[in-house]
């Protein structure tokens, strides 16, 4: 994927042209990252029995025990912080954290290695990237197979914002190649440096009689950060509507249809892939909003430990 390293180049390319006009802001619920749910989970004794704290964006509260998490209190946010239960062993992963910023907090997303090893039972090491997104996760995680099927991306949404606005900071690892660690094969190398990524899609979805879910792409914004930066406040990026394949801002590798494997739950309660089948008309009304922040860009189990993305004050602009 081609990378857009600085706001100046972003503006030049046009895919994220800065919105200068005075427009109405609408913060996403809990998008100021100042409220967090703390989950206190005791891992299995066979792997040490530590009491771990993992976090979710939502009304300030504490949840104790092995309780599968769903966004609560009106929060639309989910994260890659999960509770896994593999062959009866309870293990947590934490790659998204609240971090103090000013008088409140921001979200810090980290890429790191996570492992669980019990002789004769399980030996798993995976590359875990930090991901903060609108949607939810199926818990507990029981396998490292089909990770995208466990992440349910997007929320019902019928508005037409002109832009996405947020504060961000980036730290990019120096490694020239990325690591691929799935847990069930040898750790390997993937060509290319790791980047942090942001994706915002507006979709018009529907379901057929067999439970397949399809979508037309209504609006598109995507960016990747290849260089470490200090805080950029109120970074504002246009959402492009309709078929953008002839727009000078179009970057096929991360803006094309089905560039990302996103799943949802159909009316039968089954996780299915959202199949984008075309571009919607520029004036179409969406049914869903997909928004994801990630500390690594290569998909499940691929990245560079040491990558981090900080996010704060997420808003839509109209």
Q: What pLDDT is recorded for position 299? A: 84
Q: What pLDDT is recorded for position 3? A: 34
Average pLDDT, the chain: 89
Q: Does residue 6 carry a pLDDT above 80? A: no
pTM of the model: 0.89
Q: What pLDDT is recorded for position 119? A: 55
Q: Which two tokens stand for residue 10?
A: 């972003």
- 45/55 Cα distance (integer angstroms): 22
Q: What pLDDT is recorded for position 10? A: 34
Sign of CA dihedral 154, 95, 8, 253: negative
Average pLDDT over residues 39-50: 92
Average pLDDT over residues 180-209: 91
φ, ψ dihedrals at 289, nearest 5°: -120, 125
Paired strand residues for 137 = 151
Of 18-32, 174-188, 292-306, where does the model show the most confidence? 292-306
Of 41-55, 65-79, 154-168, where does the model show the most confidence? 154-168
**Structural contact between residues 90 and 52, judged by C-beta atoms closer than 8 angstroms:** no
Q: What pLDDT is recorded for position 122? A: 59
Average pLDDT over residues 275-293: 98
Q: What pLDDT is recorded for position 251? A: 94
- 131/96 Cα distance (integer angstroms): 7
State the Cα torsion 295-297-299-300 to the nearest 10°. Answer: -20
**Structural contact between residues 166 and 199, judged by C-beta atoms closer than 8 angstroms:** no
Provide DSSP, 119-175: TTTEEEEEEE--EEEEEEE-SSB--SSSGGGGEEE-EE-----SEEEEEEEEE----
Cα distances (angstroms) measured from residue 102 to each of 99, 105, 110, 235, 245: 10, 7, 20, 18, 41
Q: Does residue 125 carry a pLDDT above 90? A: no
Over residues 128-148, the pLDDT tens digits come to 899 999 999 988 777 667 666
Q: What pLDDT is recorded for position 7? A: 31
Percentage of residues in the chain having pLDDT higher than 70? 88
Q: Which helix (H) or strand (E) holds 196?
A: strand 196-207
Residue at token pair 């808003």: 315
Lowest mean pLDDT among 8-22, 44-58, 181-195, 290-304: 8-22
Lowest mean pLDDT among 39-48, 113-122, 131-140: 113-122
Q: Does residue 194 carry a pLDDT above 80? A: yes
Q: What pLDDT is recorded for position 185? A: 66
């Amino acid at each position: 994927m081609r990378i857009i390293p600085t706001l100046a180049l972003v503006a030049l390319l046009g895919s994220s042209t800065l919105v200068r006009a005075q427009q109405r802001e609408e913060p996403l619920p809990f998008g100021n990252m100042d409220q967090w749910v703390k989950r206190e989970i005791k891992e299995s004794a066979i792997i040490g029995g530590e009491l771990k704290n993992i976090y979710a964006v939502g009304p300030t509260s504490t949840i104790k025990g092995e309780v599968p998490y769903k966004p609560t209190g009106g929060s639309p946010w989910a994260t890659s912080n999960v509770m896994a239960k593999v062959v009866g062993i309870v293990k947590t992963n934490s790659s998204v954290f609240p971090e103090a910023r000013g008088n409140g907090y921001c979200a810090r997303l980290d890429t790191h290695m996570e492992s669980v090893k019990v002789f004769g039972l399980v030996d798993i090491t995976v590359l875990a990237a930090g991901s903060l997104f609108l949607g939810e996760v199926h818990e507990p995680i029981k396998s490292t197979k089909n990770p995208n099927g466990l992440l349910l991306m997007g929320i019902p949404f019928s508005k037409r914002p002109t832009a996405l606005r947020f504060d961000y900071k980036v730290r990019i690892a120096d490694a020239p190649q990325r690591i691929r660690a799935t847990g069930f094969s040898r750790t390997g190398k993937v060509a290319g440096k790791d980047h942090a990524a942001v994706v915002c899609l507006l979709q018009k979805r529907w379901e057929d009689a067999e439970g397949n879910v399809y979508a037309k792409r209504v609006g598109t914004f995507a960016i990747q950060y290849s260089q470490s930066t200090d805080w950029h406040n109120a970074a504002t990026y246009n959402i492009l509507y309709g078929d953008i394949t002839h727009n000078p801002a179009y970057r096929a590798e991360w803006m094309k249809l089905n560039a990302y494997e996103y799943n949802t739950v159909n009316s039968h309660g089954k996780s299915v892939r959202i199949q984008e089948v075309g571009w919607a008309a520029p004036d179409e009304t969406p049914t869903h909003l997909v928004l994801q922040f990630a500390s690594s860009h290569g998909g499940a189990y691929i990245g560079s430990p040491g990558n981090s993305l900080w996010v704060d004050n997420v808003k839509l602009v109209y």
